[in-house]
């Protein structure tokens, strides 16, 4: 958990919604200066903070409408703090809850240096990251349509189609496999949607790849040097991580990729684990997929995994391989050299990863 501890003359807590925001402003001594419900046009916000612009810091929750406010504060030269979405218990632990109280609590926690903060994603990379996440939606939709076609054969107790429908050439005429006219129409609709998704996915991937080469061409190429990481995984890692320098060491990077278990201890006794949801889902998925793809027959990791499986068992070997892959990626992001398989397989053996003590 990272807290914002810098001192300022004025602290502004903002409970932000799509069409309105409640502002509560304190000075350094804790005196209330402003508490007001406003519409969201930037001019209204700038007008309210105008008398207190000197050394002002603003904070909001990590909810969907924060992009424009972060950009506005950056344009005006004001500090902006994005509250961490999973550390909101202090803000919502009171008997009553409303926009006014939420804004007040945000300002008080910010003034006291107890405001957990999240990273503010860089403005020029937000649109490619959001487009990449929409790509994930299209991929899941396409997979569901392909599964629907296979499930329909089971529903009507028909023989398996026997072709890999993921390829367009093998989908043509697939509806003829079904004798009932209405079923054939259902399958034809599914095939048409899959074809449309394929076209959209090609356009989306081309656009994101061009952005990645423009934003971080050398880093993007180094990620490709890691066995098992292709174009799609490299894009996810590049845009979901944002900046490697914000992670002081590999352990913190692996932890934020949901590949480290947080230990709960009290009085010298271990009470279990926690923090499984700290970090984003795409990062966790990316390194799980990278670990599995590393083990494909033509990949150089197959022999290495066989040795790990013999020493630790298959489940432990797979679980421990994903953090090692994350560490390898961290090295590619922080050092200007390609992946070295020999160094990877001779590095420290698998061990239980735990969250470092703060």
Give 160's DSSP letter: P
Q: Under CATH, domain 3-118 is a member of which superfamily?
A: ATPase, nucleotide binding domain (3.30.420.40)
Tell me how crowded residue 179 is: count the other CB atoms within 10 A of its CB. 9
More confident residue, 179 or 355: 179
E-strand ranges in the chain read 3-4, 10-16, 20-27, 32-39, 56-60, 79-83, 115-118, 262-266, 269-274
The string of pLDDT tens digits covering residues 282-306 is 888 888 888 888 877 666 677 777 7
Sequence-distant (6+) residues with CB within 8 A of 37 are 20, 21, 22, 23, 99, 100
Q: Which of 249, 255, 216 is nearest to 234 (CA)?
A: 216
The string of pLDDT tens digits covering residues 215-271 is 888 888 888 888 888 888 889 888 888 766 678 777 888 887 877 777 778 787 888
Region 190-213: mean pLDDT is 93
DSSP strand pairing (10-16 vs 20-27): antiparallel
pLDDT for the residue numbered 354: 44
- The average confidence (pLDDT) of the chain is 84
Lowest mean pLDDT among 96-100, 109-113, 215-219, 316-320: 316-320
pLDDT for the residue numbered 140: 94
pLDDT for the residue numbered 34: 93
pLDDT above 70 (res 152): yes
pLDDT for the residue numbered 357: 34
Residues in a beta bridge with 57: 11, 79
Can you spell out the DSSP letters for 335-351?
Answer: SSS---HHHHHTSPPP-
pLDDT above 70 (res 13): yes
- Whether 332 contacts 223, CB under 8 Å: yes
- Whether 44 contacts 38, CB under 8 Å: yes
């Amino acid at each position: 958990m990272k807290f914002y501890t810098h001192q300022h003359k004025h602290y502004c807590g903002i409970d932000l919604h799509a069409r309105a925001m409640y502002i509560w402003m304190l000075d350094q001594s804790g005196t209330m200066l402003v508490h007001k419900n406003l519409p969201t046009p930037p001019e209204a916000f700038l007008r309210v903070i105008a008398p207190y612009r000197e050394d002002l810091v603003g904070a909001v929750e990590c909810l969907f409408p924060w992009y424009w406010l972060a950009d506005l504060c950056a344009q005006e030269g004001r500090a902006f703090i994005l509250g961490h979405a999973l550390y909101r218990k202090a803000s919502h632990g009171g008997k009553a809850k409303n926009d006014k109280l939420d804004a007040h609590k945000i300002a008080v926690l910010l003034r006291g240096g107890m405001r957990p903060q999240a990273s503010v994603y860089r403005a020029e990379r937000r649109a490619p990251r959001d487009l990449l996440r929409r790509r994930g939606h299209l991929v899941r939709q396409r997979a569901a349509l392909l599964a629907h076609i296979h499930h329909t054969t089971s529903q009507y107790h028909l023989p398996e189609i026997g072709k890999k429908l993921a390829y367009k050439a093998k989908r043509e005429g697939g509806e003829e496999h079904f004798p009932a006219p209405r079923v054939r129409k259902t399958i034809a609709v599914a095939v048409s949607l899959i074809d449309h998704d394929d076209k959209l996915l090609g356009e989306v991937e081309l656009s994101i790849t061009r952005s990645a080469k423009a934003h971080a061409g050398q880093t993007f190429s180094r990620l490709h040097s890691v066995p098992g990481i292709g174009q799609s995984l490299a894009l996810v890692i590049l845009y979901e991580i944002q900046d490697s320098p914000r992670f002081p060491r590999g352990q913190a990077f692996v932890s934020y990729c949901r590949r480290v278990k947080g230990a709960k201890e009290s009085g010298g006794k271990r009470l279990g684990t926690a923090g499984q949801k700290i970090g984003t889902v795409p990062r966790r998925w990316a390194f799980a997929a990278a670990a599995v793809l590393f083990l494909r027959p033509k990949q150089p990791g197959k022999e290495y995994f066989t040795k790990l499986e013999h020493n630790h068992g298959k489940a432990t070997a797979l679980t421990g391989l994903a953090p090692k892959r994350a560490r390898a990626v961290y090295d590619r992001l922080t050092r200007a050299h390609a992946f070295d398989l020999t160094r990877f397989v001779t590095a420290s053996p698998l061990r239980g990863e735990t969250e470092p003590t703060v």
